[in-house]
Amino acid sequence: MGEEDRHRQERAENGTGRGEPARLCLVEDEMAIAEAISFLFEREGWQVEVVTDGAAAINAVRRVRPDIVILDLMLPGRSGYDILRDIKADPTLAGTQVLMLTARGQERDRERAAALGVDRFMTKPFSNLELVGTVRMMLEGAGEETEG
Amino acid sequence: MRERETGEAPSGREGADPRETGRRIRARRRTLGLDQKALAARIGISPAYLSLIENGRRKAPKALLERLAAALDMAPAQLLGVRTGADWAEVLATLAARHRPADPPRPEIAHAERLVAEYPGWARLVIEQGREIEALEARLAILADRLSGDPYLADTLHALLSSVTAVQASADILARTPELAPAEIERFRFNLSVEARRTADRARALLEHFDRSRLDRPLEATTPREEVMVLLARHDHHFPAIEAAGNASSAAARAAAREVAGALGAELSAEARPLLHAALELLAEDAAALPLSGLAAALEAVGLDPAVLCARLDVAPARLFRRLVALGAKEGDGPMRELGLVAFDRAGVVLWRHQGEGLTLPRLRAACALWPVFRARADEIGHHRLLTDRGTPIEAWTAVEIRRGAEGVARRISWQLVRQIRHDAGHGGGSAAGRQLVVGASCRLCRRASCPERREPAFFAPPVPESASGAPD
């Protein structure tokens, strides 16, 4: 029990350099996907805030001030592009990275997300290992140059 | 001029298509008021065989074609679509009227016959290019819709990928996490089973969509409503069984509609079938309320004046519009054939579309906002003279129909009947042409250079700036 906790703590701090768990915000309207992803992230010791509505997303992000926002593109209320634009336009969120996670993986969507300053772009379906690995890499590389 | 055949004039080979020949036979037969049985008896074949020929499924041998032509009072070459010089001149004139450039010099339409006689090669080039352009533009309109406006494909694919993602993520957690708590196992199993079922449903829906696309309508039908419109168009919006039953009673017409919907619905998706049934039922009610014979008689008496016709026949404008179009379909090649009809709901979504000859009507949505249909009033038939973005003069009648929906909710549907104004007929009224409202089908296909209502750029660069008002955009 204690060992497991310590292990998680180590993993969680990995790369953040703050001595506290990484904070993530997951914006995803499909509950089954949100449950799976938050389970995976929590297992890594990361704190996860799940938002299922596009309109509520930006306020949640401002409140949580996460290290990374994992953002779906097609959302009720407000599109992922708009939320991405809001995040990137907010100077208080300068340290927040955005991983866009979408079933729309066309070149056009990637280009548009890149133009809006997205940090990473992943398409659904993804493998759990790949997703966790990408987020870990983003956390480790925070503040460094990322290879979008 | 029927005897003077210049089969070598522009592209005489096009008559080789048995479907075209069949269509000409049917049109001519209907014009002469003959039914299949009567014509078949005259030329000594079975009605079933004649039907196959008319539907283009059999090619009539030469001797039979000659008998057919004689019975129909036509030259065999005409049935095959080999045209005379005068016919070609008319084709040229129609093309020229459809694509009249904004600036002079304009085509000398009056001299079309001379052009064909003296320069058949040039005439042929113009005709073939004109047709090619029209075919390409029609295809472009469909593709543009498909790419940007196939909500069904985009949504279904997105939903499928989402449920696959959920299945994969849940299954992976269950398989790779030995220390899962019982409640977690329960939760992910539940998600897995729900999402697996949704994946199957969505995959099936997507397969059906592609299966349908593989049939003879590869591009057109992108939504259930489009499927119905494409099917109606393939039948020319004309269903003899419903018309015949409509002469008896409204109940008979509706029964016939049910039967036709049952027979034709098999080739549609499950979602499209109820829409087909509703559409045919509407046509059946129309047929019972206003038989085509009565409409034809009234039309002959007062001409194409919808307001007068409505009063005289005591029918609602939208019904009259639909019946006029039906009459055109029945006549095969009469003047009513040029009528187009389109209907929109309050959000501007196309609910009904009957493409008249030589007209471009919007397909799924995003119709030109300038169309008078969007200003149609419930209490009167509007009548407007317009110019298309290609310079073709058209006239449009508009009317609003209030229909009770399933829960007694009133639906407000705006109808617009359109037709091209023929060059000679519209000549007198052309003085105000410069000030006429210029409309297109939809922004992506519109050539109008500056338009206050433009939502998105056109595929084509606009050819010439508008000379009419000169108002900068």
Whether B381 is covered by a domain: the verdict is yes
Nearest CA of chain B to the CA of A9: how many Å?
Answer: 18
Interface test with chain A among B156, B162, B192, by most A beta carbons within 10 Å: B162
Nearest CA in chain B to A132: B169
Minimal CA–CA distance to B19: which of B66, B68, B57?
A: B57
B167 lies in a domain?
A: yes
Tokens linked to B336 = 């009513």
Would residue B308 count as lying in a domain?
Answer: no
* pLDDT at res. A13: 55
- Of B79-88, B225-234, B407-416, the range with the lowest mean pLDDT is B79-88
CA distances to A33, A129, B404 from B168, rounded to whole Å, are: 9, 12, 46
- Whether residue B426 contacts residue B386, with contact meaning beta carbons closer than 8 Å, is answered with no
Contact residues for B28 (Cβ-Cβ < 8 A; gap 6+): B72, B74, B79, B332
How distant is the Cα of B426 from the closest Cα of chain A, in angstroms?
47
DSSP state of B435: G
Q: What is the CATH number of the domain that holds B353?
A: 3.30.450
Domain span at B375: 337-473
Question: What pairs with residue B49 in β-bridges?
Answer: none
**Within this chain, do residues B69 and B162 fall inside the same structural domain, yes or no?**
no
Q: In the prediction, which pLDDT does B20 show?
A: 82
A76 prior amide bond cis, ω within 30: no
pLDDT at position B191 is 94
Residue B68 lies in a domain: yes
Sign of the torsion angle spanned by Cα atoms B10, B12, B16, B21: positive
Q: Are residues B342 and B422 in the same domain?
A: yes
Distance from CA of B369 to the nearest CA of A (A): 26
pLDDT digits (tens, 9 = 90+) for A117-137: 999 999 888 999 999 999 999
Quick one: pLDDT band at residue B248, thresholds 50, 70, 90?
confident
Per-residue model confidence (pLDDT) at position B403? 81
Please tell me the distance from the alpha carbon of residue A110 to that of residue B183, in angstroms, as a whole number.
38
Q: Is there a cis peptide before residue B306, judged by omega within 30 degrees of 0?
A: no
- Among all residues of chain B, which has the CA nearest to that of A104? B158
Looking at the fold, whether B466 and B354 belong to one and the same domain comes out as: yes
Chain B residues whose CB is inside 8 A of the A128 CB are 168-169, 172-173, 176
Closest by Cα among B252, B245, B273 to B261:
B273
Q: Which range has highest mean pLDDT (B84-93, B100-109, B397-406)?
A: B397-406
| Cβ pair B169:A36 closer than 8 A | yes
Q: What values do phi and psi take at B137, rounded to 5? A: -65, -40
As assigned by CATH, the class of the A2-140 domain is alpha beta
Q: pLDDT digit string (tens) for B158-198?
A: 888 899 999 999 999 999 998 899 999 999 999 999 999 99
* B270 band by pLDDT with thresholds 50, 70 and 90: confident
B155 and B75 in a single domain? The answer is: no
Q: What is the 3-state secondary structure (H, E, C) of B95-138?
A: HHHHCCCCCCCCCCHHHHHHHHHHCHHHHHHHHHHHHHHHHHHH
Average confidence (pLDDT) over A37-45? 95
Residue B292 CB neighbours (<10 A): 21
Determine, for residues A125 and B161 on separate chains, whether the beta-carbon distance falls below 8 Å: yes
Confidence of residue B433 (pLDDT cuts 50, 70, 90): very low
Kindly report the nearest CA distance between residue A124 and chain B, in angstroms: 6
Which is it for the CA torsion B355, B144, B148, B460, positive or negative? negative
Q: Count CB neighbours of B306 within 10 A.
A: 18
Highest-pLDDT range among A25-29, A121-125, B120-124, B157-161: A25-29
* Contact yes or no for B187 and A35 at CB 8 A: yes
The confidence score (pLDDT) of residue B75 equals 78
Domain check: are B35 and B157 in the same one? no
Q: Which residue has the higher pLDDT, B445 or B325?
A: B325
| pLDDT tens string B14-40 | 445 788 888 888 888 887 888 888 899
* Residues with Cβ within 8 Å of residue B129, at least 6 apart in sequence: none
Distance from C-alpha of B168 to C-alpha of A131, rounded to nearest angstrom: 12
Shortest alpha-carbon distance between residue B164 and chain A (Å): 6
Among the candidates B83, B101, B129, a domain finishes at: B83
Rounded to 5 degrees, what angle do the CA atoms B149, B140, B359 make?
A: 100
User: B186 with B76, same domain?
Assistant: no
CATH value at residue B17: 1.10.260.40
Give the E-state strand segments of B370-409 in sequence order: 382-388, 393-404
Asked if the Cβ–Cβ distance from A32 to B191 is below 8 Å, we say yes
Number of domains forming the structure of chain B:
3
Is B88 inside a domain boundary?
A: no
The phi, psi pair for B396, rounded to 5°, reads -135, 140
Strand (E) or helix (H) holding A50: strand A47-51
Q: Is the pLDDT of residue B430 over 50?
A: no
Range with the lowest mean pLDDT among B7-16, B86-95, B165-174? B7-16
Cα(A55)–Cα(A76) distance, rounded to whole angstroms?
Answer: 8
Q: Which of B325, B281, B283 is nearest to B306 (CA)?
A: B325
Cβ contact B204:B198 at 8 Å: no
Residues of A in contact with B195 (CB under 8 A): 32
H or E stretch at B30? helix B18-31
Name the residue in chain A with its Cα closest to that of B170: A36
The count of CB pairs under 8 A between chains A and B is: 58
Q: For residue B317, give the nearest of B261, B200, B207, B398 by alpha carbon.
A: B398
Same structural domain for residues B178 and B64? no
Q: Where is average pLDDT lowest: B392-396, B436-440, B446-450?
A: B446-450
- What ipTM, to 2 d.p.? 0.85
Amino acid B432: pLDDT: 42
How, if at all, do strands B382-388 and B350-354 pair?
unpaired
With CB atoms and an 8 Å threshold, state whether A33 touches B164.
no
Pairing of strands A97-102, A68-72: parallel
Chain segment B44-79, per-residue pLDDT in tens: 898 889 988 988 888 888 888 888 988 988 877 778
Minimum Cα–Cα distance from B166: chain A residue: A33
Amino acid (one-letter) located at A76: P
- Predicted local distance difference test score (pLDDT) of residue B371: 84
Compute the mean pLDDT over every residue in chain B, rounded to the nearest whole number: 79
Contact A125 B168 (CB under 8 A): yes
Residue B203 resides in a domain: yes
